[in-house]
Amino acid sequence: MASSEINNNSRKPENNEDISSYIQYLERKIKNLKNEIDTLKPELSNLEYEENRLKTEVERFEEIPLMTANIIDVLDDKNDRTIVNCPPNASYVVKVSRKLQNVRLSPGLRVALNQRNFTVMEILPNEIDPFVKGMEIIDTPFDVSYDDIGGLNDQIQEVREIIELPLMKPELFKKIGIDPPKGALFYGFPGTGKTLLAKAVAHETNATFIKVVGTELVHKFIGEGAQYVREIFKLAKKKAPTILFIDELDAIGSIRMDDATSGDREVNRTLMQLLSELDGFDERGNIKFIAATNRIDILDPALLRPGRFDRIVEFPLPDDKARESIFRIHMRNLHIENEINLKALVELTKDTNGSDIKGICTEAGMYAIRRNSEVISNEDFLDAIDKTMMIKSRDQGPLSLFI
């Protein structure tokens, strides 16, 4: 090695002076390399940490979902074997995982089974309780009506026809002899008022508003997503008249793949259940279904087939006129000085959504408080717009979600 270094230096050391300067050169090199090692060590440990994190993530993705079952009988005291009943209705004698050795098993318990060898792996909570799964239920939303929605006049008109009219005047449809519409699909940019309009129609029709988020329907255990969908529709029936709002439909309703993983297949089961509930919707009369998505482009065509949703309603970003009316709505309760240049605010907020405008109004209020003022000034609004636009351009705004 040394000789090759010497060769690289293009001449051989010929005397003591040469050798000592070569040693110095090597010492410097060693020192540099040591420094490099010192700087690389933390980087290496960061990369090792990241590698482990990704490995665990991959393992998590590869995990085969467990199956749910109910214990019918426990065969011996050692907790070794038990009889379980699996959906739809098959009974098996199965082994119990060693990690459950100290758990008292009893008939009726809901358990999770390994799909390959049917070993009991986990004890599950006994019933799926929809209330703990992030469902939002409002008896009748009082805080929002059509007057609280800026722009969206065509969307409100559509919703009045397909949701409000059949709920309020079902006899009209009977007389004419047509089936009343069952529901609509709202799609478009985030923060453009999809949830707001669904709540407003529940308010206008005195209906219960039930909101479920699609990601909540994606379950770890086989059959649970589908069962959860059944429970939601049962609850909607019980609470009728109901507006059942499923947000982020794409979480369960995206295009089905042939070589799907078992996790995807579970999502498909949930989707199939949802489709079958939608198809059996006719008799339900006073339940109306609204689904929403920001990603209509990836929805399964089965969901978009005629007859599933009576209308597919687009929610675009608000134009100048709509933004002005959204500003007016969110300024209603604000203490604002007289010289607000609303036209300029509207001009400065192109490409924002309703949610941004609401945020700008709140932020302007915060600027006023910071100034120790009790009135919000035009300057406060301008500062709030600057801040919002900066954050949006950093996050690339709502458009990025459509890519």
* Complex with ligand ATP: residue 112 or 185, whichever CB lies closer: 185
Look up residue 121 and give its two tokens.
Answer: 């792996």
Sheet of 67-74, strand order: 90-95, 81-86, 67-74, 110-113, 120-124
Smallest gap, in angstroms, from Cβ of residue 312 to ligand ATP?
Answer: 15
Please name which of 120, 397, 340, 370 lies closest in space to residue 330, comparing C-alpha atoms: 340
The reply to whether 159 sits near ligand ATP by the rule CB under 6 A is: no
Gyration radius of the chain's alpha carbons: 31
The reply to whether 317 sits near ligand ATP by the rule CB under 6 A is: no
* Complex with ligand ATP: residue 110 or 133, whichever CB lies closer: 133
**Which residues is 352 bridged to in the sheet?**
none
Task: Let me know: does 100 contact 79? Beta carbons within 8 Å.
Answer: yes
Q: What is the total count of residues that contact ligand ATP (CB under 6 A)?
A: 20
Smallest gap, in angstroms, from Cβ of residue 373 to ligand ATP?
Answer: 24
d(CA 5, CA 162): 83
Binding mask 277-316 for ligand ATP (x = CB under 6 A): ---------------x-x--------------------x-
* Complex with ligand ATP: residue 69 or 218, whichever CB lies closer: 218
> Got the DSSP string for 167-226?
HH-HHHHHHHT-PPP-EEEEEESTTSSHHHHHHHHHHHTT-EEEEEEGGGG--SSBTHHH
Smallest gap, in angstroms, from Cβ of residue 153 to ligand ATP?
Answer: 10
Interacting residue with ligand ATP among 70, 75, 83, 190 (CB under 6 A): 190
Between residue 223 and residue 262, which ones bind ligand ATP under the rule CB under 6 A?
A: 247
The reply to whether 152 sits near ligand ATP by the rule CB under 6 A is: yes
What angle do the packed helices 262-279 and 224-238 form, to 10 degrees?
30
Handedness of CA 98, 102, 108, 112 (dihedral sign): negative
Smallest gap, in angstroms, from Cβ of residue 101 to ligand ATP?
Answer: 46
The reply to whether 185 sits near ligand ATP by the rule CB under 6 A is: no
- Helix, strand or coil for residue 291? strand
Smallest gap, in angstroms, from Cβ of residue 188 to ligand ATP?
Answer: 7
Interacting residue with ligand ATP among 159, 185, 267, 326 (CB under 6 A): 326
The reply to whether 141 sits near ligand ATP by the rule CB under 6 A is: no
Task: Let me know: does 158 contact 288? Beta carbons within 8 Å.
Answer: no
Smallest gap, in angstroms, from Cβ of residue 160 to ligand ATP?
Answer: 16
Between residue 343 and residue 372, which ones bind ligand ATP under the rule CB under 6 A?
A: 354-355, 358
Would you give the DSSP letter of residue 88?
T
Residues with Cβ within 8 Å of residue 378, at least 6 apart in sequence: 337, 339, 340, 341
Smallest gap, in angstroms, from Cβ of residue 400 to ligand ATP?
Answer: 13
Point out which residues bind ligand ATP (CB under 6 A): 149-152, 190-196, 247, 292, 294, 315, 326, 329, 354-355, 358
